[in-house]
A and B are shown apart, each in its own frame.
Chain A
Protein backbone atom coordinates (compact mmCIF):
# COMPACT_ATOMS: atom_id res chain seq x y z
CA UNK A 1 0.00 0.00 0.00
CA UNK A 2 1.29 3.40 -0.89
CA UNK A 3 1.11 6.43 1.32
CA UNK A 4 -1.33 8.93 0.01
CA UNK A 5 1.20 11.70 -0.45
CA UNK A 6 3.39 9.35 -2.47
CA UNK A 7 0.46 8.25 -4.53
CA UNK A 8 -0.42 11.81 -5.37
CA UNK A 9 3.09 12.58 -6.37
CA UNK A 10 3.44 9.46 -8.47
CA UNK A 11 0.15 10.12 -10.18
CA UNK A 12 1.19 13.65 -10.95
CA UNK A 13 4.39 12.40 -12.51
CA UNK A 14 2.57 9.62 -14.30
CA UNK A 15 0.21 11.90 -16.14
CA UNK A 16 2.89 14.40 -17.00
CA UNK A 17 5.28 11.97 -18.62
CA UNK A 18 4.96 9.96 -21.78
CA UNK A 19 5.09 6.21 -21.39
CA UNK A 20 7.89 4.42 -23.16
CA UNK A 21 7.76 1.22 -20.98
CA UNK A 22 8.21 -1.62 -23.42
CA UNK A 23 9.95 0.42 -26.07
CA UNK A 24 13.26 0.21 -24.21
CA UNK A 25 15.68 -2.35 -25.53
CA UNK A 26 17.44 -4.55 -23.00
CA UNK A 27 20.69 -4.64 -25.01
CA UNK A 28 22.01 -1.18 -24.13
CA UNK A 29 21.56 -1.61 -20.38
CA UNK A 30 24.11 -3.20 -18.05
CA UNK A 31 22.44 -4.92 -15.14
CA UNK A 32 24.19 -4.08 -11.85
CA UNK A 33 25.78 -6.93 -9.89
CA UNK A 34 25.47 -8.10 -6.31
CA UNK A 35 28.73 -8.23 -4.31
CA UNK A 36 28.91 -11.96 -5.14
CA UNK A 37 28.46 -11.35 -8.87
CA UNK A 38 24.81 -12.23 -9.61
CA UNK A 39 22.68 -9.81 -11.66
CA UNK A 40 21.11 -7.50 -9.07
CA UNK A 41 17.31 -7.42 -9.28
CA UNK A 42 16.74 -6.21 -5.73
CA UNK A 43 14.16 -3.59 -4.95
CA UNK A 44 10.44 -3.03 -4.67
CA UNK A 45 8.70 -3.53 -8.02
CA UNK A 46 4.97 -2.87 -7.90
CA UNK A 47 2.82 -3.68 -10.89
CA UNK A 48 0.56 -1.25 -12.71
CA UNK A 49 -3.13 -1.82 -13.08
CA UNK A 50 -5.46 -1.34 -15.98
CA UNK A 51 -4.31 -4.05 -18.39
CA UNK A 52 -6.88 -6.82 -18.88
CA UNK A 53 -5.83 -10.46 -18.72
CA UNK A 54 -7.29 -11.18 -22.18
CA UNK A 55 -7.19 -8.86 -25.18
CA UNK A 56 -10.52 -7.67 -26.52
CA UNK A 57 -11.16 -9.79 -29.61
CA UNK A 58 -11.54 -6.82 -31.95
CA UNK A 59 -7.90 -5.81 -31.32
CA UNK A 60 -6.69 -8.97 -33.03
CA UNK A 61 -2.92 -9.40 -32.73
CA UNK A 62 -2.20 -5.82 -31.71
CA UNK A 63 -0.11 -5.74 -28.50
CA UNK A 64 -0.29 -2.01 -27.75
CA UNK A 65 -2.99 0.62 -27.71
CA UNK A 66 -3.27 3.37 -30.30
CA UNK A 67 -2.73 6.96 -29.14
CA UNK A 68 -6.48 7.48 -28.86
CA UNK A 69 -7.06 4.24 -27.00
CA UNK A 70 -4.20 5.01 -24.66
CA UNK A 71 -5.52 8.51 -23.99
CA UNK A 72 -8.83 6.90 -23.11
CA UNK A 73 -7.18 4.51 -20.67
CA UNK A 74 -5.23 7.37 -19.10
CA UNK A 75 -8.43 9.33 -18.77
CA UNK A 76 -10.21 6.42 -17.14
CA UNK A 77 -7.41 5.79 -14.65
CA UNK A 78 -7.19 9.48 -13.88
CA UNK A 79 -10.90 9.61 -13.14
CA UNK A 80 -10.68 6.51 -10.98
CA UNK A 81 -7.73 7.96 -9.08
CA UNK A 82 -9.58 11.22 -8.58
CA UNK A 83 -12.56 9.25 -7.31
CA UNK A 84 -10.31 7.42 -4.86
CA UNK A 85 -9.41 10.74 -3.29
CA UNK A 86 -13.06 11.65 -2.81
CA UNK A 87 -14.52 8.62 -1.11
CA UNK A 88 -18.27 8.44 -0.75
CA UNK A 89 -19.87 7.84 2.62
CA UNK A 90 -21.77 4.86 1.29
CA UNK A 91 -20.95 1.50 2.80
CA UNK A 92 -19.99 -0.88 0.03
CA UNK A 93 -18.46 -4.32 -0.29
CA UNK A 94 -15.20 -3.17 -1.85
CA UNK A 95 -12.03 -2.12 -0.07
CA UNK A 96 -11.87 1.43 1.28
CA UNK A 97 -10.78 3.89 -1.38
CA UNK A 98 -7.59 4.83 0.44
CA UNK A 99 -6.32 1.31 -0.27
CA UNK A 100 -6.41 1.77 -3.99
CA UNK A 101 -3.38 1.98 -6.23
CA UNK A 102 -4.00 2.80 -9.86
CA UNK A 103 -0.36 2.92 -10.84
CA UNK A 104 0.92 4.30 -14.09
CA UNK A 105 -1.09 3.60 -17.20
CA UNK A 106 0.73 1.36 -19.67
CA UNK A 107 0.02 0.70 -23.32
CA UNK A 108 -0.31 -3.06 -23.37
CA UNK A 109 -3.59 -4.41 -24.67
CA UNK A 110 -3.50 -7.59 -22.57
CA UNK A 111 -1.39 -9.39 -20.01
CA UNK A 112 -1.44 -12.46 -22.23
CA UNK A 113 1.19 -12.11 -24.95
CA UNK A 114 1.13 -15.68 -26.21
CA UNK A 115 -0.83 -17.02 -28.04
CA UNK A 116 -0.53 -14.03 -30.33
CA UNK A 117 -4.23 -13.14 -30.11
CA UNK A 118 -3.67 -12.35 -26.44
CA UNK A 119 -6.39 -14.76 -25.38
CA UNK A 120 -6.49 -17.92 -23.34
CA UNK A 121 -6.19 -21.14 -25.30
CA UNK A 122 -9.13 -23.51 -25.32
CA UNK A 123 -9.70 -25.79 -22.37
CA UNK A 124 -9.04 -29.46 -22.86
CA UNK A 125 -12.01 -31.79 -22.83
CA UNK A 126 -10.88 -33.15 -19.45
CA UNK A 127 -10.74 -29.67 -17.93
CA UNK A 128 -14.16 -28.66 -19.29
CA UNK A 129 -15.70 -31.80 -17.88
CA UNK A 130 -13.96 -31.36 -14.54
CA UNK A 131 -15.16 -27.80 -14.17
CA UNK A 132 -18.75 -29.01 -14.43
CA UNK A 133 -18.51 -32.25 -12.53
CA UNK A 134 -16.12 -31.42 -9.67
CA UNK A 135 -17.34 -31.70 -6.10
CA UNK A 136 -20.10 -34.19 -6.96
CA UNK A 137 -21.55 -31.93 -9.62
CA UNK A 138 -21.40 -28.71 -7.64
CA UNK A 139 -18.69 -27.49 -10.01
CA UNK A 140 -15.58 -25.60 -9.04
CA UNK A 141 -15.96 -22.71 -6.64
CA UNK A 142 -15.46 -19.32 -8.21
CA UNK A 143 -18.77 -17.62 -8.77
CA UNK A 144 -18.92 -14.26 -7.07
CA UNK A 145 -22.30 -15.16 -5.63
CA UNK A 146 -23.33 -18.69 -4.97
CA UNK A 147 -23.71 -21.42 -2.44
CA UNK A 148 -22.42 -20.79 1.03
CA UNK A 149 -22.84 -24.07 2.88
CA UNK A 150 -19.17 -24.44 3.77
CA UNK A 151 -15.85 -22.68 3.29
CA UNK A 152 -15.00 -24.87 0.28
CA UNK A 153 -17.92 -23.28 -1.60
CA UNK A 154 -15.87 -20.09 -1.74
CA UNK A 155 -12.66 -19.68 -3.73
CA UNK A 156 -9.25 -19.10 -2.18
CA UNK A 157 -9.69 -15.35 -2.56
CA UNK A 158 -12.68 -15.21 -0.22
CA UNK A 159 -10.98 -17.60 2.16
CA UNK A 160 -7.79 -15.50 2.34
CA UNK A 161 -5.68 -18.62 1.80
CA UNK A 162 -3.46 -17.10 -0.87
CA UNK A 163 -3.80 -15.36 -4.21
CA UNK A 164 -1.72 -18.14 -5.75
CA UNK A 165 1.66 -17.61 -7.34
CA UNK A 166 0.47 -15.60 -10.34
CA UNK A 167 -2.42 -13.96 -8.54
CA UNK A 168 0.07 -12.53 -6.03
CA UNK A 169 1.84 -10.71 -8.87
CA UNK A 170 -0.93 -9.81 -11.32
CA UNK A 171 -1.75 -6.18 -10.46
CA UNK A 172 -5.08 -5.44 -8.83
CA UNK A 173 -6.31 -2.26 -7.20
CA UNK A 174 -4.40 -2.67 -3.94
CA UNK A 175 -1.33 -4.32 -2.41
CA UNK A 176 0.70 -4.56 -5.60
CA UNK A 177 4.07 -4.51 -3.87
CA UNK A 178 6.61 -7.10 -5.01
CA UNK A 179 10.04 -7.07 -3.41
CA UNK A 180 13.07 -9.00 -4.63
CA UNK A 181 15.82 -9.86 -2.16
CA UNK A 182 18.99 -11.78 -2.97
CA UNK A 183 21.63 -13.67 -1.01
CA UNK A 184 24.29 -16.00 -2.36
CA UNK A 185 22.38 -19.01 -3.70
CA UNK A 186 18.88 -17.60 -3.27
CA UNK A 187 16.41 -15.15 -4.72
CA UNK A 188 13.35 -14.32 -2.63
CA UNK A 189 10.20 -12.85 -4.12
CA UNK A 190 8.11 -11.19 -1.46
CA UNK A 191 4.54 -10.22 -2.37
CA UNK A 192 2.51 -7.78 -0.38
CA UNK A 193 -0.68 -9.58 -1.41
CA UNK A 194 -1.24 -11.90 1.53
CA UNK A 195 2.30 -11.81 2.82
CA UNK A 196 3.97 -14.34 0.54
CA UNK A 197 7.74 -14.88 0.50
CA UNK A 198 8.83 -17.37 -2.12
CA UNK A 199 12.37 -18.54 -1.39
CA UNK A 200 13.89 -19.68 -4.68
CA UNK A 201 17.09 -21.76 -4.49
CA UNK A 202 19.51 -21.23 -7.36
CA UNK A 203 21.42 -24.48 -6.98
CA UNK A 204 20.51 -27.72 -8.74
CA UNK A 205 18.94 -29.42 -5.73
CA UNK A 206 16.21 -31.89 -6.63
CA UNK A 207 12.55 -30.89 -6.70
CA UNK A 208 10.32 -31.84 -3.76
CA UNK A 209 8.77 -35.30 -4.01
CA UNK A 210 5.69 -35.42 -6.25
CA UNK A 211 3.38 -36.17 -3.30
CA UNK A 212 4.15 -32.77 -1.78
CA UNK A 213 1.74 -30.31 -3.37
CA UNK A 214 1.57 -26.70 -2.19
CA UNK A 215 -0.38 -23.57 -3.02
CA UNK A 216 2.70 -21.64 -4.12
CA UNK A 217 4.54 -24.59 -5.65
CA UNK A 218 8.19 -25.54 -5.39
CA UNK A 219 10.49 -23.18 -7.29
CA UNK A 220 13.98 -23.66 -8.68
CA UNK A 221 15.85 -20.77 -10.28
CA UNK A 222 18.82 -20.30 -12.59
CA UNK A 223 20.45 -17.46 -14.49
CA UNK A 224 20.23 -17.40 -18.27
CA UNK A 225 22.57 -14.54 -18.99
CA UNK A 226 21.14 -11.70 -16.92
CA UNK A 227 17.64 -13.18 -16.88
CA UNK A 228 16.42 -15.04 -13.83
CA UNK A 229 14.51 -18.11 -14.96
CA UNK A 230 12.36 -19.84 -12.35
CA UNK A 231 10.59 -23.12 -12.90
CA UNK A 232 7.88 -24.08 -10.43
CA UNK A 233 6.09 -27.42 -9.95
CA UNK A 234 4.34 -29.30 -7.15
CA UNK A 235 1.22 -27.12 -7.31
CA UNK A 236 -2.09 -28.14 -5.76
CA UNK A 237 -5.11 -27.95 -8.05
CA UNK A 238 -6.93 -25.74 -5.54
CA UNK A 239 -5.47 -22.51 -6.90
CA UNK A 240 -7.13 -20.42 -9.57
CA UNK A 241 -5.07 -18.32 -11.95
CA UNK A 242 -6.25 -14.77 -12.42
CA UNK A 243 -6.28 -11.51 -10.55
CA UNK A 244 -6.52 -12.16 -6.82
CA UNK A 245 -6.48 -15.88 -7.45
CA UNK A 246 -10.16 -15.60 -8.28
CA UNK A 247 -10.07 -16.63 -11.91
CA UNK A 248 -10.65 -14.45 -14.93
CA UNK A 249 -13.81 -13.28 -16.63
CA UNK A 250 -15.63 -16.31 -17.94
CA UNK A 251 -13.69 -18.93 -16.02
CA UNK A 252 -12.75 -19.83 -12.45
CA UNK A 253 -9.18 -20.32 -13.71
CA UNK A 254 -8.29 -23.60 -12.07
CA UNK A 255 -5.31 -25.61 -13.29
CA UNK A 256 -4.29 -29.20 -12.61
CA UNK A 257 -1.51 -30.51 -10.39
CA UNK A 258 0.58 -31.03 -13.53
CA UNK A 259 1.09 -27.29 -14.04
CA UNK A 260 4.66 -26.23 -14.76
CA UNK A 261 5.12 -22.49 -14.46
CA UNK A 262 8.20 -20.87 -15.99
CA UNK A 263 8.93 -17.28 -15.02
CA UNK A 264 11.51 -14.97 -16.54
CA UNK A 265 12.66 -11.83 -14.72
CA UNK A 266 14.66 -9.42 -16.91
CA UNK A 267 15.81 -6.04 -15.66
CA UNK A 268 15.80 -3.83 -18.74
CA UNK A 269 16.66 -0.57 -16.97
CA UNK A 270 17.26 0.65 -13.44
CA UNK A 271 13.53 1.10 -13.01
CA UNK A 272 11.86 -1.47 -15.26
CA UNK A 273 11.68 -5.21 -14.75
CA UNK A 274 10.01 -7.38 -17.34
CA UNK A 275 8.16 -10.26 -15.81
CA UNK A 276 6.99 -13.12 -17.99
CA UNK A 277 5.30 -16.31 -16.93
CA UNK A 278 4.44 -19.27 -19.12
CA UNK A 279 1.64 -21.53 -17.97
CA UNK A 280 2.11 -25.07 -19.23
CA UNK A 281 -0.62 -27.45 -18.12
CA UNK A 282 -1.57 -29.84 -20.92
CA UNK A 283 -4.38 -31.31 -18.82
CA UNK A 284 -6.14 -27.94 -18.65
CA UNK A 285 -5.24 -25.87 -21.72
CA UNK A 286 -4.59 -27.20 -25.22
CA UNK A 287 -1.42 -25.13 -25.50
CA UNK A 288 0.88 -23.17 -23.15
CA UNK A 289 0.18 -19.47 -22.67
CA UNK A 290 2.30 -16.58 -21.46
CA UNK A 291 1.60 -13.38 -19.59
CA UNK A 292 3.89 -10.36 -19.39
CA UNK A 293 3.77 -7.72 -16.70
CA UNK A 294 5.88 -4.58 -16.70
CA UNK A 295 7.04 -4.02 -13.13
CA UNK A 296 8.26 -0.59 -12.17
CA UNK A 297 10.68 0.07 -9.37
CA UNK A 298 9.35 2.36 -6.65
CA UNK A 299 11.69 3.03 -3.74
CA UNK A 300 8.97 5.01 -1.97
CA UNK A 301 6.51 2.14 -2.02
CA UNK A 302 6.10 0.77 1.48
CA UNK A 303 4.78 -2.75 1.77
CA UNK A 304 2.35 -3.32 4.61
CA UNK A 305 1.35 -6.54 6.31
CA UNK A 306 -1.90 -7.75 4.79
CA UNK A 307 -3.64 -9.68 7.56
CA UNK A 308 -6.37 -10.93 5.23
CA UNK A 309 -7.41 -14.08 7.08
CA UNK A 310 -6.97 -12.55 10.52
CA UNK A 311 -9.64 -9.95 9.75
CA UNK A 312 -11.76 -12.04 7.40
CA UNK A 313 -15.18 -10.92 8.54
CA UNK A 314 -16.49 -11.74 5.07
CA UNK A 315 -16.37 -15.51 5.57
CA UNK A 316 -18.19 -15.21 8.86
CA UNK A 317 -20.73 -12.84 7.35
CA UNK A 318 -21.31 -14.90 4.20
CA UNK A 319 -21.83 -18.18 6.07
CA UNK A 320 -23.86 -16.73 8.92
CA UNK A 321 -25.86 -14.64 6.46
CA UNK A 322 -26.73 -17.73 4.42
CA UNK A 323 -27.94 -19.54 7.57
CA UNK A 324 -29.97 -16.52 8.64
CA UNK A 325 -31.55 -16.35 5.21
CA UNK A 326 -32.47 -20.03 5.32
CA UNK A 327 -33.98 -19.58 8.77
CA UNK A 328 -36.01 -16.61 7.52
CA UNK A 329 -37.24 -18.70 4.60
CA UNK A 330 -38.36 -21.37 7.03
CA UNK A 331 -35.95 -24.10 5.98
Chain B
Protein backbone atom coordinates (compact mmCIF):
# COMPACT_ATOMS: atom_id res chain seq x y z
CA UNK B 1 0.00 0.00 0.00
CA UNK B 2 1.48 3.38 -0.96
CA UNK B 3 1.81 6.09 1.67
CA UNK B 4 -0.81 8.16 -0.18
CA UNK B 5 -3.15 5.20 -0.10
CA UNK B 6 -2.55 4.75 3.62
CA UNK B 7 -3.17 8.45 4.30
CA UNK B 8 -6.38 8.31 2.28
CA UNK B 9 -7.47 5.28 4.21
CA UNK B 10 -6.81 7.03 7.51
CA UNK B 11 -8.71 10.11 6.42
CA UNK B 12 -11.61 7.96 5.24
CA UNK B 13 -11.65 6.13 8.54
CA UNK B 14 -11.54 9.39 10.49
CA UNK B 15 -14.38 10.79 8.39
CA UNK B 16 -16.30 7.58 8.86
CA UNK B 17 -15.98 7.80 12.63
CA UNK B 18 -17.24 11.36 12.63
CA UNK B 19 -20.16 10.45 10.44
CA UNK B 20 -21.07 7.27 12.23
CA UNK B 21 -20.59 8.51 15.80
CA UNK B 22 -23.86 10.42 16.13
CA UNK B 23 -25.80 7.51 14.70
CA UNK B 24 -24.56 5.09 17.30
CA UNK B 25 -24.50 7.36 20.29
CA UNK B 26 -26.62 9.99 21.90
CA UNK B 27 -26.26 13.70 22.49
CA UNK B 28 -24.93 14.81 25.86
CA UNK B 29 -28.58 15.58 26.75
CA UNK B 30 -29.47 11.97 26.03
CA UNK B 31 -31.35 12.65 22.81
CA UNK B 32 -31.18 9.52 20.67
CA UNK B 33 -30.55 9.99 16.97
CA UNK B 34 -31.61 8.07 13.89
CA UNK B 35 -29.22 6.41 11.49
CA UNK B 36 -29.57 9.56 9.40
CA UNK B 37 -28.49 11.77 12.32
CA UNK B 38 -31.86 13.43 13.08
CA UNK B 39 -33.26 13.50 16.60
CA UNK B 40 -35.13 10.23 17.00
CA UNK B 41 -38.76 10.93 17.93
CA UNK B 42 -39.78 7.27 17.71
CA UNK B 43 -41.63 6.13 20.78
CA UNK B 44 -44.91 6.25 22.66
CA UNK B 45 -45.69 9.65 24.15
CA UNK B 46 -48.33 11.13 26.41
CA UNK B 47 -48.97 14.36 28.25
CA UNK B 48 -49.55 14.80 31.98
CA UNK B 49 -50.95 18.27 31.44
CA UNK B 50 -54.60 19.12 32.11
CA UNK B 51 -54.84 20.74 28.68
CA UNK B 52 -57.55 18.43 27.38
CA UNK B 53 -59.89 19.47 30.23
CA UNK B 54 -59.15 23.12 29.70
CA UNK B 55 -56.27 24.83 27.92
CA UNK B 56 -56.32 27.70 30.40
CA UNK B 57 -55.69 28.00 34.14
CA UNK B 58 -58.73 26.64 35.93
CA UNK B 59 -59.91 25.79 39.41
CA UNK B 60 -61.63 22.45 39.86
CA UNK B 61 -65.22 22.49 38.58
CA UNK B 62 -68.24 20.29 38.16
CA UNK B 63 -68.38 18.05 35.12
CA UNK B 64 -71.26 18.00 32.65
CA UNK B 65 -72.93 15.03 34.38
CA UNK B 66 -73.45 15.17 38.14
CA UNK B 67 -74.50 11.51 37.96
CA UNK B 68 -70.84 10.58 37.59
CA UNK B 69 -69.91 12.13 40.92
CA UNK B 70 -66.26 12.94 41.42
CA UNK B 71 -65.35 10.71 38.44
CA UNK B 72 -66.92 13.25 36.11
CA UNK B 73 -65.46 16.33 37.83
CA UNK B 74 -62.71 18.45 36.33
CA UNK B 75 -59.50 18.67 38.37
CA UNK B 76 -57.79 22.05 38.73
CA UNK B 77 -55.06 22.62 36.21
CA UNK B 78 -52.33 25.00 35.17
CA UNK B 79 -52.95 26.21 31.66
CA UNK B 80 -50.69 25.66 28.66
CA UNK B 81 -51.52 28.88 26.79
CA UNK B 82 -48.68 31.41 26.68
CA UNK B 83 -49.96 34.36 28.70
CA UNK B 84 -53.04 32.29 29.62
CA UNK B 85 -55.25 34.34 27.32
CA UNK B 86 -56.94 33.00 24.18
CA UNK B 87 -57.50 36.16 22.13
CA UNK B 88 -61.01 35.42 20.84
CA UNK B 89 -62.90 37.93 18.76
CA UNK B 90 -66.19 38.83 20.53
CA UNK B 91 -68.47 36.53 18.51
CA UNK B 92 -66.07 33.64 18.87
CA UNK B 93 -65.85 34.21 22.62
CA UNK B 94 -69.64 33.92 22.83
CA UNK B 95 -69.57 30.72 20.82
CA UNK B 96 -66.93 29.29 23.16
CA UNK B 97 -69.21 29.94 26.13
CA UNK B 98 -72.12 28.26 24.34
CA UNK B 99 -69.88 25.29 23.57
CA UNK B 100 -69.00 25.04 27.27
CA UNK B 101 -72.67 24.93 28.22
CA UNK B 102 -73.41 22.19 25.66
CA UNK B 103 -70.19 20.27 26.09
CA UNK B 104 -71.80 17.02 27.25
CA UNK B 105 -73.43 16.53 23.87
CA UNK B 106 -71.41 18.75 21.56
CA UNK B 107 -67.77 18.03 22.36
CA UNK B 108 -66.52 15.98 19.39
CA UNK B 109 -64.57 13.86 21.88
CA UNK B 110 -67.86 12.68 23.41
CA UNK B 111 -69.03 11.69 19.93
CA UNK B 112 -65.83 9.75 19.22
CA UNK B 113 -64.96 12.04 16.36
CA UNK B 114 -61.33 12.41 15.32
CA UNK B 115 -59.60 14.88 17.62
CA UNK B 116 -57.92 17.17 15.11
CA UNK B 117 -54.66 19.02 15.62
CA UNK B 118 -53.37 20.10 18.10
CA UNK B 119 -55.82 18.40 20.49
CA UNK B 120 -54.77 14.87 19.52
CA UNK B 121 -51.38 15.46 21.15
CA UNK B 122 -52.63 16.31 24.63
CA UNK B 123 -55.57 14.01 25.10
CA UNK B 124 -55.16 11.62 28.03
CA UNK B 125 -54.21 8.79 25.68
CA UNK B 126 -50.80 7.71 24.38
CA UNK B 127 -49.72 8.16 20.79
CA UNK B 128 -46.84 6.68 18.87
CA UNK B 129 -44.47 8.52 16.58
CA UNK B 130 -43.21 6.34 13.74
CA UNK B 131 -40.26 8.12 12.19
CA UNK B 132 -39.01 6.46 9.03
CA UNK B 133 -36.07 7.67 6.92
CA UNK B 134 -38.57 9.46 4.65
CA UNK B 135 -41.85 10.22 6.42
CA UNK B 136 -43.28 10.43 9.91
CA UNK B 137 -46.55 8.86 11.01
CA UNK B 138 -48.42 9.84 14.17
CA UNK B 139 -50.64 7.04 15.47
CA UNK B 140 -53.13 8.03 18.16
CA UNK B 141 -54.76 5.54 20.47
CA UNK B 142 -57.97 7.58 20.75
CA UNK B 143 -60.34 6.77 17.87
CA UNK B 144 -57.38 5.21 16.00
CA UNK B 145 -56.80 8.60 14.44
CA UNK B 146 -53.55 9.06 12.55
CA UNK B 147 -51.77 11.54 10.34
CA UNK B 148 -48.86 11.21 7.96
CA UNK B 149 -46.34 14.03 8.01
CA UNK B 150 -45.03 14.67 4.51
CA UNK B 151 -41.32 15.39 4.88
CA UNK B 152 -40.66 15.72 1.16
CA UNK B 153 -42.20 18.22 -1.20
CA UNK B 154 -45.03 20.02 0.63
CA UNK B 155 -48.50 18.78 -0.27
CA UNK B 156 -51.37 21.12 -0.93
CA UNK B 157 -54.47 20.49 1.16
CA UNK B 158 -56.82 19.43 -1.64
CA UNK B 159 -59.62 18.60 0.77
CA UNK B 160 -60.37 19.53 4.37
CA UNK B 161 -60.09 16.81 6.99
CA UNK B 162 -60.15 16.33 10.75
CA UNK B 163 -56.43 15.68 11.05
CA UNK B 164 -55.40 18.14 8.35
CA UNK B 165 -52.71 18.10 5.70
CA UNK B 166 -49.38 17.88 7.46
CA UNK B 167 -46.12 19.11 5.96
CA UNK B 168 -42.99 18.69 8.05
CA UNK B 169 -39.46 20.04 8.01
CA UNK B 170 -36.51 20.13 10.36
CA UNK B 171 -35.53 23.44 11.93
CA UNK B 172 -32.21 22.38 13.45
CA UNK B 173 -33.20 19.63 15.86
CA UNK B 174 -36.85 20.65 15.97
CA UNK B 175 -39.52 18.97 13.87
CA UNK B 176 -41.81 21.71 12.56
CA UNK B 177 -45.20 20.64 11.19
CA UNK B 178 -47.36 23.00 9.22
CA UNK B 179 -50.99 21.92 9.44
CA UNK B 180 -53.52 23.23 6.92
CA UNK B 181 -56.77 21.86 5.48
CA UNK B 182 -58.33 21.38 8.91
CA UNK B 183 -62.10 21.04 8.60
CA UNK B 184 -62.78 23.26 11.61
CA UNK B 185 -65.14 20.78 13.29
CA UNK B 186 -62.66 19.81 16.01
CA UNK B 187 -62.54 21.41 19.43
CA UNK B 188 -59.37 22.23 21.31
CA UNK B 189 -60.46 20.93 24.72
CA UNK B 190 -63.46 19.83 26.80
CA UNK B 191 -64.07 23.45 27.80
CA UNK B 192 -65.41 24.41 24.38
CA UNK B 193 -62.37 26.11 22.87
CA UNK B 194 -62.77 25.52 19.16
CA UNK B 195 -61.45 25.94 15.62
CA UNK B 196 -62.73 26.88 12.17
CA UNK B 197 -61.89 25.70 8.68
CA UNK B 198 -59.57 28.72 8.49
CA UNK B 199 -57.47 27.51 11.44
CA UNK B 200 -53.78 27.12 10.67
CA UNK B 201 -51.54 25.34 13.16
CA UNK B 202 -47.75 25.27 13.27
CA UNK B 203 -46.33 22.68 15.66
CA UNK B 204 -42.83 22.28 17.02
CA UNK B 205 -41.57 19.00 18.48
CA UNK B 206 -38.18 19.12 20.21
CA UNK B 207 -36.82 16.04 21.95
CA UNK B 208 -35.02 17.56 24.91
CA UNK B 209 -33.89 14.36 26.56
CA UNK B 210 -34.34 10.60 26.58
CA UNK B 211 -37.86 10.83 28.02
CA UNK B 212 -39.23 14.24 27.04
CA UNK B 213 -40.45 16.15 24.02
CA UNK B 214 -41.12 19.87 24.30
CA UNK B 215 -44.30 20.52 22.31
CA UNK B 216 -45.44 23.87 21.02
CA UNK B 217 -48.30 24.82 18.73
CA UNK B 218 -49.14 28.22 17.33
CA UNK B 219 -52.77 28.64 16.37
CA UNK B 220 -53.74 31.24 13.86
CA UNK B 221 -57.24 32.05 12.60
CA UNK B 222 -58.28 35.57 11.67
CA UNK B 223 -61.95 34.56 11.79
CA UNK B 224 -61.72 33.59 15.47
CA UNK B 225 -58.70 35.24 17.07
CA UNK B 226 -57.25 38.75 17.28
CA UNK B 227 -53.76 37.37 16.87
CA UNK B 228 -51.94 34.04 16.74
CA UNK B 229 -51.48 32.37 20.12
CA UNK B 230 -49.28 29.57 21.35
CA UNK B 231 -49.57 26.60 23.65
CA UNK B 232 -46.63 24.69 25.04
CA UNK B 233 -46.47 21.53 27.09
CA UNK B 234 -44.29 18.55 27.78
CA UNK B 235 -44.78 15.09 26.32
CA UNK B 236 -43.46 12.17 28.35
CA UNK B 237 -42.17 8.92 26.96
CA UNK B 238 -44.17 5.90 28.02
CA UNK B 239 -41.23 3.95 29.38
CA UNK B 240 -42.94 0.76 30.59
CA UNK B 241 -41.35 -2.38 29.13
CA UNK B 242 -44.76 -3.43 27.85
CA UNK B 243 -45.90 0.01 26.65
CA UNK B 244 -47.96 -0.29 23.48
CA UNK B 245 -51.00 1.30 21.91
CA UNK B 246 -54.20 -0.70 22.36
CA UNK B 247 -56.72 0.54 19.86
CA UNK B 248 -59.57 2.49 21.43
CA UNK B 249 -62.42 2.28 18.97
CA UNK B 250 -64.83 4.48 20.82
CA UNK B 251 -67.67 4.55 18.27
CA UNK B 252 -69.73 1.95 20.09
CA UNK B 253 -69.57 4.05 23.28
CA UNK B 254 -70.89 7.14 21.49
CA UNK B 255 -73.82 5.59 19.61
CA UNK B 256 -76.36 6.03 22.40
CA UNK B 257 -75.36 9.66 22.76
CA UNK B 258 -75.66 10.21 19.00
CA UNK B 259 -78.69 8.12 18.07
CA UNK B 260 -80.35 7.57 21.45
CA UNK B 261 -83.71 9.13 20.62
CA UNK B 262 -84.20 6.56 17.85
CA UNK B 263 -83.05 3.50 19.78
CA UNK B 264 -85.63 1.05 21.09
CA UNK B 265 -84.31 -1.28 23.74
CA UNK B 266 -84.30 -1.99 27.41
CA UNK B 267 -81.45 0.47 28.06
CA UNK B 268 -83.34 3.37 26.62
Identify the A interface with B (CB < 8 A). Answer: 34-36, 42, 149-151, 159-162, 179, 181-184, 186, 188, 190, 194-197, 199, 201, 205-206, 208, 212, 214-216, 218, 303-305, 307, 309-310, 315-316, 319-320, 322-323
Q: Mark B121-151, 1 if CB is under 8 A from A, else 0.
A: 0000000101111110101000011101000
Given A150-B263, A208-B246, 15 further pairs, Cβ under 8 A: A34-B133, A42-B134, A150-B268, A161-B251, A183-B130, A183-B132, A186-B130, A199-B244, A206-B242, A214-B246, A216-B144, A305-B161, A310-B185, A316-B262, A320-B262
A316 to B259, CA, bound (A): 6
- Note all chain B residues with C-beta closer than 8 A to A218: 246
Q: Would you call B251 and A309 a contact (CB within 8 A)? A: yes
- Residue B27, interface by CB 8 Å: no
22 A-B contact pairs sorted by A residue (CB < 8 Å)? A35-B36, A149-B264, A150-B263, A150-B264, A150-B268, A151-B252, A159-B255, A160-B251, A161-B252, A197-B139, A199-B245, A208-B244, A304-B161, A305-B162, A307-B114, A309-B112, A310-B113, A310-B162, A310-B185, A316-B262, A322-B262, A323-B264
Q: Would you call A159 and B144 a contact (CB within 8 A)? A: no
A50 to B46, CA, bound (A): 43
A186 to chain B, nearest CB (A): 7
Count class of interface residues, chain B = 35 or more
B123 to chain A, nearest CB (A): 16
Identify the B interface with A (CB < 8 A). Answer: 35-36, 42, 111-114, 128, 130-135, 137, 139, 144-146, 148, 159, 161-163, 185, 241-242, 244-247, 249, 251-252, 255-256, 258-259, 262-265, 268
Q: Would you call A205 and B242 a contact (CB within 8 A)? A: yes
Given contacts A149-B263, A199-B139, contact A181 B132 (CB under 8 A): yes
Q: Would you call A161 and B249 a contact (CB within 8 A)? A: yes
A42 to B137, CA, bound (A): 13
- Note all chain B residues with C-beta closer than 8 A to A303: 148
B116 to chain A, nearest CB (A): 11
Given contacts A150-B263, A195-B145, A205-B242, contact A182 B162 (CB under 8 A): no
Contact of B131 among A183, A309, A323 (CB under 8 A): A183
Q: Would you call A307 and B162 a contact (CB within 8 A)? A: yes
A179 to B113, CA, bound (A): 23
Q: Would you call A151 and B259 a contact (CB within 8 A)? A: yes
- Note all chain B residues with C-beta closer than 8 A to A320: 259, 262
Q: Would you call B146 and A190 a contact (CB within 8 A)? A: yes
Q: Would you call A159 and B113 a contact (CB within 8 A)? A: no
Q: Would you call A183 and B42 a contact (CB within 8 A)? A: yes
Q: Would you call B259 and A319 a contact (CB within 8 A)? A: yes
A196 to B141, CA, bound (A): 10
Q: Would you call A216 and B251 a contact (CB within 8 A)? A: no
Q: Would you call B252 and A159 a contact (CB within 8 A)? A: yes
Contact of A188 among B130, B247, B252 (CB under 8 A): B130
B124 to chain A, nearest CB (A): 19
A215 to B143, CA, bound (A): 12
